[in-house]
Structure formats: C-alpha cells, structure tokens
Chains A and B, each alone.
Chain A
Amino acid sequence: MSPANKTNSEDYLRAYRQMVRIRVFEDNANQLYLSAKMPGLTHMYTGQEAVAVGICEALEVSDKITSTHRGHGHCVAKGAEFKEMFCELLGKAEGYCRGKGGSMHIADQAHGNLGANAIVGGSAGIATGAALSAKRLGTKDVTVCFFGDGALGQGLLYEVMNMAALWKLPVIYACENNLYGEYTKVEEMAAGALTARAAAFGIETHVVDGQDVLAVNRLTRDLVERARNGEGPFFVQLDTYRYYGHHVGDINREYYRSKEEETFWKTKRDPIANFGAWLTGEKIATEDELKAINEAVRADAEAAVAYALAAPYPDAAEVRLHVYADNAA
C-alpha cells in the first residue's frame, strides 16, 4: 500500500469502518441462518469488503449501483442502515423492501442502490439503462454495475457492453473475480482473459487487487471522474476471494477448493486486517482506536438484529400491494 495522505484520515477511517460494518453484518446474517431465525438462504460477501467499499467510497449518493445475489456488501457500502437491512432479511415490514424482496433483492433507492438481483448477470441491462438515463437527462450520475466472474457466462452482459461502448455511457462494469462461480473455478468456466471480453468492444479495462481498498478506491475515483466527463464506459476486474461458500448452506467445500487456499486468503490477504495494519503503521489510528470501531459496529449490529427480530411482519393485506404502481393523477 502507498503512503498515507494525512488530510484524508477521516476518509480512511470511514472506509475501514464500512469494511468492518460489512464483515459484522455478514457474521450476524450467518448466525441468524445457523440459529434458524432467518427464512431462506443468503450469500455472504465476507472477504470481498475492499471491493464494495473502495468503489462506493468513490461515488456520490446520487450515483447508482446495481448489485448481485451476493449483495449485502454493496448495500452497506452505498449507505444502507443495519436496521432496515436486517428487517428485510427477516421478512419484516420495516425492511428496505417491506419484506417482499429479502436478501437477494434488497434495494435502497434513496442511496442509489437499484437493487440486488437473483439472476446472475441480470442487472447488467439495468445498470447500462441507468447510465443511458443519466446521459440523456443530463444528471451527471455514474452507474457501477457489480457482478461476479460467474456473470461472464451471460450473453446479456456482452450485448449491453457493446451498446455502452457505442453510446459512450457513464457506466463502470465492476467484475468481482472471487475465483468461483457457485461451486466451480473461474478457469473452468471462462476462456481467455476476463478483461479481453470488454476490450473487444473498445472498452478501457483495468485489473486491480480487490483486497486493497486504497488501490480500488484510487482507480475508481479516477474512472468515476472520467465517466462523468463522458469518457466511459470502463471495465474493472477486481481480484478477490469469497471466504464462505456459495451460500450459507455450502459448508463442505473441499471438493472444489482446499482449506489451505481458504486459510491463505483469510490470513495473508484479508482486506480489513491488512488495511488496519496500514492505518496503524501510518499512525492514522492506534490499535485501540480500531478496536473501538469494531466494538461500536458490533454493538450497532447487535441492537439492529434485536430490533429486527422483535419487529412486526407485514400485514396480510400487503401481499396484494405493489404489484402495480398507482398512476400519478
């Protein structure tokens, strides 16, 4: 990591705190699943925190993102609150989507999150469309389309990257290469270089260490500014790692990846531990200060979980609500 710019101390600490918030959110989500308090399954973002935070810290509130089935990290990083998120995971009325979306469909439009998506690659069109809207309406907003290496198998992505390049749209395609699409290694599913796909459309591509929040943020700030000035689209490959299985129920993973590999990433490449060490090394924060951040976030999460567990479910009448939007008079 590069030397610190001391005037950015608050930004650094906010980025650290956001990464911790994602990690802690996922720990709690996992516990809710394991204790059978959460309906359904969830896909954890743990290990990939530097990607979501490095990117979202480079965005304005009005900038848009589209997210994936592994979307809690993007949602937190774009500004969502724990309380409404846990309520959504538990299917409660105070959730971001009034309990109708759940883990795989959290949307937080107030912070520009157009929603997680349970179809792999399914939001590539939405992100590109948001960018077309921004260009046409002159809002100057930039859209980041998050997707995993698994989505590289979907044709939709190539159709919309082609149009984004033809029309110079302000969109950044953020490919989180966590090495596995569900239970299969990326090299068994994607031929050739991942970036070559976008390069074929004449899109400028970058590869960045997705475990280094500062590197991700530095690159994204530059690309966002350029996209705002009409130089988009861009494609970024972010090399990262998924600590848990495809979903919380994917416990025995040795048939597709080794324990040694997992241990390597968790001990040597952890984005939070490494950034924490950098913060203390650069004397931006002390060990105690980082510990205090962790404790405060854990207390927040604990309170939010307790709140969500006690919160009411939606009224039965809501089942027929929101199938259609009411037309403005």
Chain B
Amino acid sequence: MRQITLAKAVNEAIAEEMRRDPTIFLMGEDVAEAGTPFKVLSGLVEEFGRERIIDTPISEPGFMGIAVGAAMTGSRPIVDLMFGDFLFLVMDQLCNQAAKTHYMSGGKLKAPLVLRTNLGATRRSAAQHSQSLHGLLAHIPGLKIALPSSAYEAKGLMKTAIRDDNPVVIFEDKLMYNDKAPVPEEEYLIPFGVANILREGRDITLIATSSMVQVAQKAAEMLAAESGISAEVIDPRTIVPLDEETILKSVRKTGRAIVIDEGHQSFGVTAEIASRINEKAFYYLDAPVQRIGAMDVPVPFSPVLEDLTVPTPQIVVERARRSVKGELFDAA
C-alpha cells in the first residue's frame, strides 16, 4: 500500500469531501495560497478557488462565529484554527453557540461544522503554541472530539467529521504532519466512537490518544522485549463519543491499565477514562489505574525543560513494570 504523510491525508480527506458536497467550504488564516504554516492545505485553493478556500483576517472569534451561522443555514464549514492554543479565543462561539444550538432550539437548528486544529508540545514553541486542549472541550456537551493518531486515522476521521451533523473538533498532532503511514487509495471512513486495538496483550492495557499512541506502542515493544510483559494498546480515536466498551473489555482481561494523554494530567482525559474504569471494572483490577498526562505546568520554552513535561515511552515502561510487579507508586 502507498504511504503518505498525515498532512497529505488531511488534505486528501478535505478535497474528496469538497468534491462530493458543494456546501462545504473552508475558512481560516492563510489557508489559501499559503496552505497554512504546516502546508497541510496546499493545492486546495487551486482546485476549489477562493470562494471555497477562504482566507480570513486574524480574527478567530469572528470567523468561528461566521462558521456557526453558515452551518445553521445550509453550509458545512471547515474552520482552520492555526494552533490549538487559539481555542481560548473562540470559546464563546464554539461552546456557547455551536455546541448548544441544537439543544437550546429543541432540535430545530443544527451546526454541522468541523474545527480542525492541533495539539502537541516539544516543537520548541513555548506556552502559547504547544498546548493540548482537547480535554477542555470534551467537557462541553454538544461537541464531538476526534484525535487521529496516524495518517490513516487522520483521513478516515476527517471524512467522518465533515459528514457529521454536529460541531466536531479534530485535533491533529502538529509533530506528526510529516509522518507517513499506509493509506489506501480507495475511499474509507472511520466511524466515531469505535476504538482501535493496535496491539493485543495479556498483562496490562495502555489506553493512549493522538500523539501518545506512538509513545504507548513504543513502550509496549520495550516491555515485551525487555521484561516479557504483554501490553495491549488501545487508541479511542474519539474521546467524545468514547468507546467505553472496548476499553472496559480489555481491562477486564488484563486487570491493569495506564491512560496516557498529552493534555495536562489534572482534571483531564486521563482522569476521566481512569475514573470510568474504576467505576465499571473495579473488581477486575489487580492494581490501581494509572494516569500519565502532561505535567501541570505551562509548556516551557527551553528544550531541556520542555522535554520533561510530556509522557515518554520510558515513563510508561517504568510505570507498567511496577504495576505488573504489584509495587505502589507515588500518585501524580
């Protein structure tokens, strides 16, 4: 099978959907000729023109709001938010307007839009261009949250997001844009709420999202090679909706779980998933469910410091070994 980059996969998904449905348009900062700073959208304006690939002023709340109104009136906008950190600028339009319009109108109005943005630290971009804020949005009913972990996932999830009748926020890992993966030529979609079991195992379940899926996979390889520990790796793909069943089924089998996510550890995705496991699979557990999130500090600039803030395969391996051995550890 051909291998393409994550950036190319996103580009293909958007282009295919725009060919299929003329009500789709895309708007954001430097999305047309510039193709975004990450060059994810290069070539789209040449095919679809400036009527459908719309360069906006640097006005995130404004174009987010415009997308909501367009979505309510027959269009299917894709909003490009250059950095996930800019979510704080669009919170009212996203969370008070888009997320609530269907409910507040008793089901009469809907806002089918996609907000594509990114997450991920270690790009040496400091505290306002490095955050992973998906957990914050997962707290708001009415939004769906997709977290692709490879080029294959990015294409299939993007196509599903565009066809969804709800506001969907899709976070791409900005460090993975050039990572290649096998992606079929033929069309495919990845449904929301269906987790992917990347590796089967007996001893411990590693539940990892987005950028952390490769960390978990690497840890699983190291555990197998160095300690003979068999780890199962699960990528939920979407945290809203969350495929709780696949996670619980795995933990009931292995009796141990570590949840790994690049959002801040406190009050985040890892806490939510760990808590559901505790509530629904407690009597199957042989050890406390562990959380590994990003350190609860603003992302520092200095590489020496920044690298300390994100989960690594080594941390996962260490925690998994101790869990399997029955050792207690210092929480958080």
Contacts and interface: CB of A to CB of B under 8 A. Distances in A.
A99 B101 CA distance: 14
A166 B27 CA distance: 14
Interface stretch (B54-62, B131-139, B264-272, B293-301): B54-62
B294 to A, nearest CB: 28
A101 interface: yes
Contact of A163 (B62, B73, B108): B62
A323 B64 contact: no
A324 B142 contact: yes
A114 B69 contact: yes
A128 B165 contact: no
A124 B65 contact: yes
B92 A130 contact: no
A3 interface: no
A105 B96 contact: no
A109 B73 CA distance: 10
A163 B106 contact: no
A132 B70 CA distance: 6
B106 A101 contact: yes
A129 B69 contact: yes
A122 B97 contact: yes
Contacts of A134: 73
Contacts of B92: 119, 122, 156
Contacts of B68: 125-126, 129
Interface in A315-329: 321-328
A325 B64 contact: no
A107 B144 CA distance: 23
Contact of B73 (A133, A324, A325): A133
B112 interface: yes
Interface stretch (A90-98, A230-238, A285-293): A90-98
A115 interface: yes
A159 interface: yes
A162 interface: yes
Contacts, number: 157
A64 interface: yes
A322 B73 contact: no
A77 interface: no
B106 A129 contact: no
Contact of A129 (B59, B73, B105, B107): B73
Contacts of B63: 159, 163
A219 interface: no
Contact of B69 (A97, A101, A133): A133
Interface centre among B61, B97, B103, B112 (most CB of A within 10 A): B103
Interface in A58-83: 64, 66
Contacts of A129: 65-73, 75, 77
A98 B107 contact: yes
Interface string A135-173: 011010101000000000001100110110010000000
A125 B106 contact: no
A160 B27 CA distance: 13
Given A125-B97, A166-B57, A96 B106 contact: yes
A156 B91 CA distance: 12
Contacts of A327: 163-166
A156 B62 contact: yes
A134 B23 CA distance: 11
Interface in B40-64: 51-52, 56-57, 59, 61-64
Contact of A136 (B25, B97, B164): B25
A162 B70 CA distance: 17
A166 B75 CA distance: 20
A175 interface: no
Contact of A97 (B25, B105, B144): B105
A256 B74 CA distance: 44
A100 interface: yes
A114 B102 CA distance: 11
Contacts of A64: 73
A146 to B, nearest CB: 14
Contacts of A198: none
B66 A125 contact: yes
Contacts of B51: 136
A305 interface: no
A69 to B, nearest CB: 13
Contacts of A139: 74
Interface centre among B23, B72, B92 (most CB of A within 10 A): B72
A127 interface: yes
B106 A322 contact: yes
A132 B66 contact: yes
A325 B100 CA distance: 11
A123 B100 CA distance: 13
B104 interface: yes
B159 to A, nearest CB: 13
A98 B106 CA distance: 5
B308 interface: no
A163 B59 contact: yes
Interface of B: 23, 25, 51-52, 56-57, 59, 61-75, 77, 92-93, 96-97, 101-110, 112, 141-142, 144, 163-166
Q: Would you list the 9 A-B pairs with minimal beta carbon distance, nearest first?
A: A125-B65, A129-B69, A159-B62, A98-B106, A126-B69, A159-B59, A97-B106, A129-B66, A129-B70
Given A114-B72, A129-B73, A137-B23, 11 more contacts: A96-B106, A97-B106, A98-B106, A100-B105, A109-B108, A117-B97, A122-B93, A136-B70, A323-B103, A324-B144, A326-B165
Interface of A: 64, 66, 95-101, 105, 107, 109, 114-115, 117, 119, 122-134, 136-137, 139, 141, 143, 155-156, 159-160, 162-163, 166, 321-328
24 contacts: A64-B73, A97-B108, A100-B104, A100-B106, A101-B104, A101-B106, A107-B104, A107-B105, A114-B73, A125-B62, A125-B93, A128-B66, A129-B77, A130-B72, A132-B66, A136-B25, A136-B51, A137-B23, A137-B75, A162-B57, A163-B57, A163-B63, A163-B66, A322-B106
